Amino acid sequence: MTDDSPVDRPVALVTGAGGGLGSAIVTRLASAGWQVAPSSHGHGSLSADLAVPTQARSLVARVIEQYGRLDLVVANHAAMAMATVDEHPVDDWWRIVDTNLSGSFHLAQAGATHLRRTHGSIIFVSSEWGVTGWPKASAYASSKAGLIGLTRALAKELAPDIRVNAIAPGIIDTEQLRVDAGAQGISLAEMKAHYAAVAPLQRIATREEISASVAFLASPDAAFYTGQVLHPNGGTTLGS
């Protein structure tokens, strides 16, 4: 891909690009030769609140306007908050689902027309918690589980033009982990040790390990993958 002139290089829209994993995905895809269109809520010309369907459509339109084509959508943005099911304020619970699941759907819907033209692909960033469920994370885990169903549905519906896959990563070493530790009143080191203890590989993931899974699914090496979920999680879903 790197031999092509900039105007012909494939374009990847990455949402949640300002976050820990998002910035690693941007770097990794750029080094693999992609032109990356990074979207981050509240920052820059590709800012979008993806809980709002019209903003998902406007984001895709702005990418087409600025880059002229679309070959890959990486739906990586996410909202997160933890509470028990009966104590989680109902509006906040739905804001998480509307951002993570509905936002990804509206992004895929808006991108599909352009991706059909380029025979592109979609990658949804789900989560280990979407596979296993997680206490006090019912909104987040529901939204991430929904993305796995959406992956299977759209993979069937959009084949053979567009490939649709997902990753369901385990715990990643990002700034979010510090925030989560603070919310639970423990140190970052304790937080990491807690998650490492339940993974057969005895550690949490680096951002680079997870972005590598995204880059693989986006690459020609994964041309026969659709409807699949990669689980880079250190073995946690094998059980502790």
Partner 1 sequence: MSFCREGSSREGSYRERRDPVNRGPQPVAIVTGASGGIGAATSRQLSLKGYRVAVLFFQSSSAAHALAAEVDGRAYQADVADPTAMADVVTRVEAELGPIAVAISNAGTYEEVALEDVTDAQWRRTIRIHLGGGFHLARAVVPGMRARRRGSIVFVASELALLGSTHASPYVAAKSALIGLARSLARELAPEIRVNVVAPGPVDTPLLPDRDRRPEYVSSIPLGRIGSPDEIAAAIVHVAEATWTTGAVYSPSGGLVIQ
- Minimum Å distance from CB 27 to partner 1? 30
Among residues 67, 140, 195, 225, the one annotated as catalytic is 140
CB 218 within 8 A of CB 115: no
Residue type, 193: A
CA 110 to chain centre: 17
Least distance (Å) between residue 105 CB and partner 1: 6
Cβ nearer to partner 1, comparing 66 with 113: 113
Measured from the CB atom, is 9 or 144 closer to partner 1?
144
140 counts as catalytic: yes
Least Å distance, CB 170 to partner 1, is: 16
E-strand stretches of the chain: 11-15, 35-39, 72-75, 121-125, 163-167, 229-230
CA 24, CA 136: separation in Å to the nearest integer? 28
Sheet of strand 35-39, all strands in order from the earlier edge strand to the far edge: 35-39, 11-15, 72-75, 121-125, 163-167, 229-230
Minimum CB distance to partner 1 smaller for 102 or for 213: 102
> Are residues 22 and 12 in contact, defined by beta-carbon separation less than 8 angstroms?
no
16 versus 111: smaller Cβ distance to partner 1: 111
Residues in the site for partner 1, rule: CB under 8 A?
53, 84-86, 90, 93-94, 97, 101-102, 105-106, 108-109, 112-113, 129-130, 132-138, 141-158, 227
For 40-92, list the strands marked E by DSSP: 72-75
- Residue 213 CB, shortest distance to partner 1, in Å, is 20
Give the whole-angstrom CA distance, residue 96 versus residue 18: 18
Which residues are designated catalytic? 140
